Amino acid sequence: MTSRAITSFLAAGALLTALITSGCTSSAPPTASPVASPAVCGAVESLKESVSDVKNVELDQGALAELQTKLTQVQTDLSQVKADAKDQYATEIDAVEQASASVGSSIDAATTSPTVESLTAVGTAVKTLGTSLTTLTDAVKSTC
């Protein structure tokens, strides 16, 4: 390589570095809003997986016991999200908690009285749980 090529290569590298780092700086002061710890990112991923497990249960014979077991994992993962997020995302977390409780209630009702209506209510509650999780995931996305 000639000295002219080396000089051009180094100049291009310096320019690239300047461009990259200039995009990372900000003249605005940091905001005082609370920021969830990055641990919430992993906790939300675990919650997404457990809710997905609930959503993937086929509503047939024996499904209610399986749903109840998987719902217990959702509640465990949700507790971790709540602990990691602190007060941030409280509205979204409350919605997921309410939806989770609704799934539990509908499972209890379907277990007591297994009818088409009660099983349909379970399906509707599971769908609502998925929707509330999507809202939480969208809110947390900026932190992760």
Instruction: Flag whether 16 is in a domain.
Output: no
Question: Global pTM?
Answer: 0.70
Please report whether residue 2 resides in a domain: no
Within-domain flag for 91:
yes
pLDDT per position as a tens digit, 64-118: 999 999 999 999 999 999 999 988 899 999 999 999 999 999 999 999 998 999 9
Task: Decide: residue 111, CB within 10 A, 0-12 exposed, 13-18 middle, 19+ buried.
Answer: middle
Whether residue 6 lies inside any domain: the answer is no
Torsion of CA 125, 38, 77, 135, to 10 degrees: 0
CATH number of the domain at 64, please: 1.20.120.230
**Does some domain include residue 27?**
no
83 CB neighbour count, 10 Å cutoff? 12
C-alpha 12/C-alpha 137 separation (Å) is 40
Cβ neighbours around 62 below 10 Å, total: 9
Q: Is residue 32 part of a domain?
A: no
The phi and psi torsions of 92 (rounded to 5 degrees) equal -70, -40
DSSP assigned state of 87 = T
Q: Which structural domain range is residue 88 located in?
A: 39-140
Q: What is the mean pLDDT of the chain?
A: 79
Sequence letter at residue 41: C
Q: What is the pLDDT of residues 20-33, one digit of tens each?
A: 333 333 343 333 34
What was the pLDDT predicted at 144? 86
Whether 28 is in a domain gets the answer no
pLDDT of 14 > 70? The answer is no
Which string of DSSP letters, residue by residue, matches 100-132? Answer: HHHHHHHHHHHHHS--HHHHHHHHHHHHHHHHH
24 within domain boundaries:
no
Q: How many domains does the chain have?
A: 1
